[in-house]
Amino acid sequence: MLKQQPITELLARSQPLLSVEFFPPKSPESVDGLVRAANRISESKPDFISVTYGAGGSTRDLSATVSRRMKDEVGLQVMPHFTCVGSTREELGEIVDEFYNEGYRNIMALRGDPTKGHDTFQVTEGGFAYASDLVAFIKERHPDMCLGIAGYPEKHPEAPSLDTDLNALKIKADSGGSFITTQLFFDNEAYFRFVDQVRDRGIELPIIPGIMPVLSLKQIIRITQLCQSQLPKRLELALRQVEDDPNAVRSIGVEWAQRQIAELIEQGADGVHIYALNKVKSAIELINAARG
Ligand SMILES: Cc1cc2nc3c(=O)[nH]c(=O)nc-3n(C[C@H](O)[C@H](O)[C@H](O)COP(=O)(O)OP(=O)(O)OC[C@H]3O[C@@H](n4cnc5c(N)ncnc54)[C@H](O)[C@@H]3O)c2cc1C
């Protein structure tokens, strides 16, 4: 079993740090397929894999299973994501201890989105309202745990302004965040501006840009509406022109992401996190292009 290393240590060693995000499948039958996908990805040697954490019980179990199998069977550095949704402190503590005892040394610590049927985040009685509370809680329990926190170059959708969102990010960083992974964006200027604003706030943590290749126009419209990241007009226009040709859409999307990654690395980004949408081929293309 590969010893899990804090991402801060990996950041110091390997530049640029390349990571790939998977989400757990909806059914246990599909876990094998995802583990096979991780096996294929492992050949292009990403620095770590992250696995998202869902809102419901069965999704959470699958998230844990996928993370464990990628860590123990495939031999990858794995960072499970973790949210405050639907759990009391005691329950969160038990899950964090389990992560720790299973050898994980990195957790992406998040608040989570509002659950279905709610416009706003519902705080569980005895649970936490903000990711910063979760970060402080984990840090107190396991000081050597390396914690990823989320940053939003184009502002978190619920924040009244970028200014208040950056203040919240500062609290989260001061609570014990180890590095920032950004929400997806398609215009690198948004990232460069964000880095300046974060540094102006006195936050010195590494900031890993999150890049998602467009693989389907319909899908990306839905995703960008949810997370309120801007799809540049030039990209949208190019995609619309080939809307009925999935291969052409994919090719434009991957090429755009490759150009983004090349520029980010050239301009000294701390690494790149690929929102792979569980698609191996495009993730491998992006890793290989990033390594040059
Ligand atoms: C890299 C990345 C990975 C993700 N992975 C997952 C996942 O696996 N599972 C999942 O369910 N979701 C995931 N998400 C989505 C995330 O849960 C949502 O974006 C969620 O709405 C906010 O989470 P957060 O951790 O940023 O929350 P927070 O940092 O708590 O921020 C939430 C909102 O509250 C405000 N806020 C924060 N602290 C304060 C404060 N002290 N006072 C006032 N306002 C405050 C912020 O400005 C923001 O508007 C991910 C997002 C990113 C960027």
Q: Would residue 167 count as lying in a domain? A: yes
pLDDT (0 to 100) of residue 257: 98
Closest Cα partner for 213 from 280, 264, 171, 276?
A: 276
Contact 21, 278 (CB under 8 A): no
**Local confidence band at 57 (pLDDT 50, 70, 90 cut-offs):** low
CA of 131 relative to ligand 1 center, distance in Å: 6
What does the pLDDT look like over 119-149, one tens digit per residue? 889 999 999 999 999 999 999 999 999 999 9
Provide, rounded to the nearest whole percent, the portion of the chain with pLDDT above 70. 99
Identify the CATH number of the domain in which residue 95 sits.
Answer: 3.20.20.220
Q: Does 21 qualify as catalytic in the annotation?
A: yes
Pairing of strands 106-110, 207-211: unpaired
Contact 60, 26 (CB under 8 A): no
Q: Would residue 221 count as lying in a domain? A: no
**Local confidence band at 40 (pLDDT 50, 70, 90 cut-offs):** very high
Q: Would residue 269 count as lying in a domain? A: yes
| Ligand 1 nearest atom to the CA of residue 148, by list position | 1
**Local confidence band at 55 (pLDDT 50, 70, 90 cut-offs):** confident
How high does pLDDT run on average in the chain?
Answer: 95
pLDDT (0 to 100) of residue 58: 72
| Ligand 1 nearest atom to the CA of residue 151, by list position | 53
pTM of the model: 0.97
Q: Would residue 245 count as lying in a domain? A: no
**SS3 (DSSP) at 108:** strand
- Structurally, the chain folds into a number of domains equal to 1
Q: E strands along 35-92, which residues?
A: 48-51, 78-83
**Local confidence band at 14 (pLDDT 50, 70, 90 cut-offs):** low
**Ligand 1 pocket: which of 53, 108, 111, 201 to mutate (most atoms within 8 A of CB):** 111
Q: Would residue 130 count as lying in a domain? A: yes
Residue whose CA lies nearest to ligand 1 atom number 5:
52
- Of these residues, 21, 94, 189, 204, which one is catalytic? 21
Residue whose CA lies nearest to ligand 1 atom number 17:
112
Describe the chain by its helix, strand, coil percentages, rounded to 5.
50, 15, 35
Pocket of ligand 1 (CB under 6 A): 52-53, 81, 83, 108, 110-113, 130-132, 150, 156, 158-159, 164-165, 168, 171-172, 181, 183, 210
CA of 247 relative to ligand 1 center, distance in Å: 33
| Ligand 1 nearest atom to the CA of residue 113, by list position | 21
| Ligand 1 nearest atom to the CA of residue 169, by list position | 29
CA of 169 relative to ligand 1 center, distance in Å: 10
CA of 157 relative to ligand 1 center, distance in Å: 10
Q: Would residue 242 count as lying in a domain? A: no
Reduced 3-state DSSP string for 227-281: HCCCCCHHHHHHHHHCCCCHHHHHHHHHHHHHHHHHHHHHCCCCEEEEECCCCHH
Q: Does 13 have pLDDT greater than 90? A: no
CA of 66 relative to ligand 1 center, distance in Å: 23
From the centroid of its chain, how far is CA 237? 27
Q: Would residue 28 count as lying in a domain? A: yes
**Ligand 1 pocket: which of 156, 174, 272 to mutate (most atoms within 8 A of CB):** 156
Question: What are the tokens at 266?
Answer: 């050239």
Q: Would residue 244 count as lying in a domain? A: no
User: What is the span of the domain harbouring residue 190?
Assistant: 7-216+250-291
| 147 sits in which H/E element | strand 146-151
**Local confidence band at 117 (pLDDT 50, 70, 90 cut-offs):** confident
